[in-house]
Structures are given as structure tokens and as C-alpha cells.
Amino acid sequence: MKKQIIAGIVITLAAAVMTPAYADVDEVAAKSLAKKSDCFKCHAVDKTKKGPSYKKIAIKYKGKADAESVLVKQITTGPKVKLEDGSEESHKIIDSQDQGAIKNLVGWILSL
Amino acid sequence: MKLTSKSFIALAALATMMVTTTSYAAEPAERNMGKVIAKMYLAANDLPPTILPSEVSPAPVETPAQEVKAVAKDLVLKGDAKCTACHDEADSPKVLAISQTRHGVNADGRTPTCTSCHGESIAHLGYKGSAKPPKPDFVFGKNTATPAAERNQACLSCHEKDSKRHLWTGSKHASNDVACSSCHQIHTAHDKVRDKRTQPEVCFTCHKEQRAQEHKISHHPIGEGKVACSDCHNVHGSAGPKLLKKNTLNETCFTCHAEKRGPFLWEHQPVSEDCSNCHTPHGSNITPLLKSRAPFMCSECHNGPHNSKVPVAGDAAGIQGGLSVPPSESYVGRGCLNCHSMVHGSNHPAGALLHR
């Protein structure tokens, strides 16, 4: 019995550790901000448009410590980006000043 | 099945994995195990690689690794790729719903494309900055800066010639800067204004007085979905008053109320003159759609003595002509229609007084 209780505790702790860091993102709010900022004009969740899909971006930055800061910089400063067709243009700047909302959007992308 | 030594090694390795591996994969562990067993067995026996039934996905789901580089293809209309490269189902699925309308029928050579209505929009297409791009040449939304006349031209370039719309120019709606897109939705399978049941909602957005009248006790069954505004009005322009479908009010009413048209042996002059002398079309609290209640309505014209030869007396022009004498006392409290039941006209030889 004692062993079973310990096993249960271990399993619970393991599950907590393995839970993704972005599990608490507000998907609806993230999508809403993306829609408002015209992100979906160039990106889709799982389809390459002018820009890479969000899933592709999530894979690219998976496990990287600076993923969030890189993506936040990308969508707030509007650097030159190379499109899928090889041409270049400035990345659109997110239509929000709310850092929480921006980080939520980035978190949602990374959670895909 | 006879186990070879290689197979045995493979199974042993598998058992070790089961003990040590924690699965982070999205698939359930038991499904992965099945795959692993099969793969290891095949590898151990040097069999050719085979696609396992469980590996055949029921629906082709594109995983990021398998993404194919986007090639701009037309999604709905001919030549729409330059627009739908951005405005696709990920961005605005509603835009693509044009495929469910007659404007999305590619087999019809007259079918327009995006730029037919929205213009070439070179500045919009070529924008590479980080702010919002400039709007297309012609925008049809609610808060658009495109003038109504320019917006309408996009539609009229095709739709002006048909008989129902050729009187648009100079019509009441046109001169009040109402645009086609003020009422019509192009990118939707169900254009509310083209459905009899939902059309009044659209018209009542502006015509609020008519909405109120339609809720009175006596009304045409507009709210009930039996009659629509367009049954009487041609909102795209007409030669008649109030954008009526026919040239006169009576002609329009008679399209349904044919029994009132006549010709009658004994006519009631105001009936053949103008139905709205007595009736109001959108609603009244006096059945049937009357402007006033008998005997007051009748006495507006018939103010002579009841049994006289000239019951209309001095007020033949009715209330519109300005009453010159007070109504006769002989009408007070009377129910005119109890006897004069054929107020719209009579064909009875003895129906001179519209009794029968």
C-alpha cells in the first residue's frame, strides 16, 4: 500500500514536470490578436503561406531558451524578413502595446 | 511463428525500452508500441520496409516537416491567387464564401474576379512595409472611404442593363448615396436581402417608421415571411412613385388584390383613383389597413344628408381638399359598411349605392 502511494506521488510530480511551459496560454486571445494584427495574412497554423507556418516556427524554436524574446522582437520591431518566395519585406509590427498580450501570442505559437 | 535470434534480440531491446522510456509523443503508448514491435521485427529479419496499416493516416494531415512550399494557386476565381495568397481560409474564410454564390461560378464566362470589383490595387499588393498596407482601390465595407457612386459602378458595369435595374441612376436610393453593398453581401452564400424571410430586416435598418407600422394590428404579413418589401417596391429604381414596382400605386396593389381592379359597373371613384385614399400600406390599428375608422373616414367625403342625391355635398375633395362644412349629423355613430359592403365597386345591376 505504501509503495502504491509513493508511486502515485511520483507519477503526479512527473506529470507536473512534463507539462508544457505554455499550457496556460489563452488561445482565443492569441488568435484574436493575431487576426487583428493581420498575422494570418502571411502565416497559418499548419500551412506555409508567405511566411512559415506557426507549427514550423514552434519546431524551430523548441527548447531554445531565448525563443520568446526572439519572437517578441520579431513581431514588435519589424525587421527585414525573407519570404518563402525568396523576396524580402519588413515584418509587420503587432497591433498592440500590451506586453502580456504579445507574450501570450508568442506563447501560443510556441505551444503548437 | 519461429523466433530467430535477431528477433529475440529485438524483442529484448523493446522490453528494455518499455521500462526506461517515457513517451512524450501525442499518440497513445500502446499504439507506438505496436509500430515499434513491427519495425524492429522487420529490421531484424532484413525484410523490405513496409508501410504499416497504422502508419497510413486516415486523413492527410500536413505536419510541419512535410510542408510543401506554397505556390500561389487560384482558390476560387480565375486569377485570384495574388489576393488569396494572403486572404485565404486561414485569414478570412468569409471572403472565400464567394465560391458558394453565383459570383463564384467559374464556368460562366461573365464571372468576375477579385480585381473586377476591388480594382487592380497595385499599392495594396506591392506594399512591403511593416505598417498596415494601403487599402485596395475599391473597398465595400461599412466605413469605407470609397464613394458610393464608385462602389456602385463595380456592380452596375454588369448589372445596369437588366430591366429591373436600368432605372437605378437618378432613383431615390441612388441620389441618397445608397450603395449596392449597403444592402447586399457579396461574399456570402446567404445574402439576407435576397431572401424573402430576412429581407425586411435589411430594409428596416433604415426604414424604421415602416418597421413600427408593420407591428400594428393590421399589416401585410411581412414579419410572418409571406410578403417582402420587394413584392411592392423595386428598390433599384422605378418609374412609379415611392420606388413601386408598377407605374402607379393602384397598379401595384392590383398585382395581388386583383378583385379590386374592376372594371366595375358601379365604381367608387376614390378606389380607382388611389388605394391610399383610404388605406395605408405598412400597418394600421384599424382593420383592414385603414387610415381612419368608419364613419369618420366615409364622412370625410360624404358629408351631405344621408338620404340626399348628393351625399358628398360640398366636400367631394375629401379631407385632402380641406373640409368646408362640418360632417352631417346623420352619419354619427353609423356603420357605413354594414350596408355599403361593396365599397370597392359593384357589378350588380342594382348596385349603384354599392349595397350589393
How far off is chain A from B12, nearest CA to CA, in Å? 25
Reported in sequence order, the residue ranges of A41-84 that DSSP labels E, i.e. its strands, are 80-82
CB contact B67 to A (< 8 Å)? yes
A47/B67 CB distance under 8 A: yes
pLDDT at B20: 39
Closest residue to B69, CB basis, from A59, A78, A84: A84
CA distance B153 to B149: 6
How far off is chain A from B198, nearest CA to CA, in Å? 30
Identify the domain containing residue A11 by its residue range.
Answer: 2-111
Q: Report the candidate in B160, B142, B141 with the shortest Cα–Cα distance to residue B236.
A: B160
Beta bridge mates, A80: A90
pLDDT tens profile A43-52 = 999 989 989 9
DSSP string, B308-349: SS-TTTT-TTGGGG---SPPPGGGTT--HHHH---TT-B-ST
- Chain A / chain B CB contacts < 8 angstroms: 63
Q: Which residues of B touch A59 (CB under 8 A)?
A: 64-65
CA distance B348 to B356: 6
Nearest residue of chain A to residue B91 (CA atoms): A40
How far off is chain B from A78, nearest CA to CA, in Å? 6
| Percent of chain A that is helix, strand, coil (3-state, to 5) | 55, 5, 40
pTM over 0.80: no
The number of distinct structural domains making up chain A is 1
CB contact B26 to A (< 8 Å)? no
A48/B69 CB distance under 8 A: yes
CB contact B309 to A (< 8 Å)? no
Pick among B130, B132, B135 to test the A interface (most A CBs inside 10 A): B130
| Percent of chain B that is helix, strand, coil (3-state, to 5) | 40, 0, 60
Beta bridge mates, A88: A82
Pick among A54, A80, A89 to test the B interface (most B CBs inside 10 A): A89
DSSP run (H or E) holding A89: strand A88-90
Q: Which residues of A touch B61 (CB under 8 A)?
A: 46
Pick among A11, A17, A32, A47 to test the B interface (most B CBs inside 10 A): A47
Q: Name the H helices within B21-147.
A: 29-44, 81-84, 93-96, 114-118, 122-126
pLDDT tens, residue order, chain B (356 aa) = 444 445 445 444 444 444 333 333 333 444 444 444 444 444 444 444 444 334 434 444 444 444 445 567 888 899 899 999 999 998 888 899 999 999 999 999 999 999 999 999 999 999 988 888 999 999 998 889 999 999 999 999 999 888 889 999 999 999 999 999 999 999 999 999 999 999 999 999 999 999 999 999 999 999 999 999 999 999 999 999 999 999 999 999 999 999 999 899 999 999 999 999 999 999 999 999 999 988 888 888 887 777 666 656 566 665 556 666 666 677 777 788 998 999 999 999 998 888 88
Kindly calculate the radius of gyration of chain A based on its CA atoms and give it in whole angstroms. Answer: 18
Q: Which residues of B219-253 are buried (b: 16+ CB within 10 A; e: fewer)?
A: bbebbeeebbbbebbbbbbbebeebbbbeebbebb
Q: Report the candidate in B328, B325, B338 with the shortest Cα–Cα distance to residue B307.
A: B328
Nearest residue of chain A to residue B82 (CA atoms): A50
Nearest residue of chain A to residue B69 (CA atoms): A48
ipTM over 0.85: no
CB contact B73 to A (< 8 Å)? no
CATH code of the domain covering residue A67: 1.10.760.10
Closest residue to A90, CB basis, from B22, B85, B130: B130
CA distance B56 to B61: 11
A53/B64 CB distance under 8 A: yes
How many other CB atoms sit within 10 Å of the CB of residue B185?
Answer: 17
B90/A91 CB distance under 8 A: no
